[in-house]
Amino acid sequence: MLNAGTAAKLVFFCLFMAVVYWGMKAVRRGVNIRTKQLPGLTAIDEAVGRATELGRPFFANIQASGPHIEDQVLASCELVRYAVQSAVRYEAPFMCVSNSPDGHPIFEEIISSAYMAAGKPELYNPNNVRFIGGFSSGTHVQIMQLMKDENIAAQLISGNLMNQTMFFAETGAALGAIQIGATKNTHQMPFLAMQCDYSLLGDDLYAAATMISRDPVRMGCLTAQETGKALALVVIVVGVVARLMGSNAVVDILRR
């Protein structure tokens, strides 16, 4: 019935689902789940504030690594929504650039809806939501030029970041922009940590989207996410101890 080598994964998956369900129920019952503050998230308001003060754009730069929708681009949607809602409130100039052909219409929809919902449709400029496509270095230069032309005040670099991270972060730094970086790609984290004022690294990117909404169902998922980490930690510790004692039992169970 089960595919070979998937039993342990299925057990973990079911446990995860159970914790999501429990978390959702708990939040709906009114249990207050305490979450840590994510400086990278609160920094979005600070960055919008700076853009408002200087009258220069907040630049949401959402990158994908291929011509299809990706989890990190999806997770970035909520960050863009949060940033644009804040920008509309303070009437700060706002720009969004993406190289994701699938993500671009989503960002257009999110940004235009934010202006409509705030009753300021006249401030929405479709040319400020741009698709600058391509996944090769050549097209990154176009974005760097745009950043320079617009003299951006703040930048959110997010998504499935690859070699372009340094190009955008260095350009932003040269323009004196306040920068927030978000990705789960381990290979780009050192650059974001080095160049950005704030960062949302690894699972923080996914947690941020949930924490913006405080929606009970999403908070349940966040609880499951954190419980899963604790469970992984327990399995790692037990596995290491077992291995040191000469037993391969944990590895064998996980391979089943």
Partner 1 sequence: MRKEIPIAVSFLAGASIVLGFFLNVPFFKVTASRQLLNWAVIVAAFALALGAGNLTRIHVTNAAKRGKHWPYSIILLVCLYGYLGLGLWRGASDSIYQWWFNGALVPGNSTVFSLNGFFIISAAYRTWRLRNWRAALLVGTAILVVLGRVGIGQAMWPALGPISDWIMTYPNAAGMRGIMIGAALGTISLGLRIILGIERGHLGVES
Partner 2 sequence: MESKPDLPYRLQNIDTRIIHALILILILLPLLRPIGLPVQISAGTRAAYNAIEAIPAGSLVLWAYEMNAANEPELMPAAIAWFHHLMRKRCKIVAFSIYSEEAPIFAQKAFETVGKEYNYVYGEEFVVMPFRAGMETAVAAIGRDIHGVFPTDFFGNRTDTMPLMQEIKGLSDFAILLKTSGWGPDVFVRQMVTVYGIPMVANCTGIVAPGAMAYLSAGQIQGLVGALTGAAEYEQLLRRPGTAAAMMDAQSTTHMLTVILVLLGNVGFYASRRGPKGGR
- Which of 26, 228, 242, 253 forms a contact with partner 1 (CB under 8 A)? 228
Q: Does 203 bind partner 2 (CB under 8 A)?
A: no
Shortest distance, position 65 Cβ to partner 2, whole Å: 7
209 binds partner 1 (CB under 8 A): yes
Instruction: Please choose, from the candidates 173, 215, 194, 184, the residue with its C-alpha nearest in 3D space to the C-alpha of residue 81.
Output: 215
Nearer to partner 1, 39 or 228 (CB): 228
The token pair that represents 208 in the structure block: 């941020």
Interface with partner 1 includes 247 (CB under 8 A)? no
Minimum gap (Å) between residue 94 Cβ and partner 1: 16
Q: How many CB atoms lie within 10 A of CB 106?
A: 18
What token pair was written down for 164?
A: 């372009």
Token pair for 193: 């940590």
Backbone angles phi, psi at 139, to 5 degrees: -75, -20
Q: Assign residue 91 a region (left: φ > 0; alpha: ψ between -120 and 50; beta: otherwise).
A: left
Q: Rule CB under 8 A: say whether 42 interacts with partner 2.
A: no
Bridge partner list, 95: 59
Among 141, 241, 249, 251, binds partner 1 (CB under 8 A): 141
Integer Cα distance of 198 and 192 in angstroms: 8
Binding range to partner 1, per CB under 8 A, among 34-42, 53-61, 189-197, 247-255: 189-197
Which residue's entry shows tokens 């308001």? 45
Q: Is 55 in the site for partner 2 (CB under 8 A)?
A: no
The Cα–Cα gap between 178 and 139 comes to 23
Identify whether the C-beta of residue 76 lies closer than 8 Å to the C-beta of residue 104: no
- SS in 3 state form for 31-53? CCCCCCCCHHHHHHHHHHHHHHH
C-alpha 196/C-alpha 38 separation (Å) is 15
Residue 100 lies near partner 2 (rule: CB under 8 A)? no
**Any contact of residue 105 with partner 1 (CB under 8 A)?**
yes
Contact in structure between 30 and 125 (CB atoms under 8 Å): no
Q: Map the footprint of partner 1 across residues 20-39, applying CB under 8 A.
A: 20
- Tell me if 76 contacts partner 2 by CB under 8 A: no
Q: Which of residues 114-153 bind partner 2 (CB under 8 A)?
A: 135-137
Taking the least distance from each CB to partner 1, the nearer of 49 and 202 is 202
Please give the residue ranges that form the binding site for partner 2 (CB under 8 A).
Answer: 5, 65-68, 70, 135-137, 162-163, 185-188
Q: Which residues bind partner 1 (CB under 8 A)?
A: 1-3, 6, 9-10, 13, 16-17, 20, 66-69, 71, 74-75, 77-78, 81, 101-102, 104-106, 109-110, 113, 127, 130-133, 136-138, 140-141, 145, 149, 163, 166-167, 169-170, 173, 184, 186, 189, 191, 194-195, 201-203, 205-207, 209, 213, 215, 217-218, 221-222, 224-225, 228-229, 232
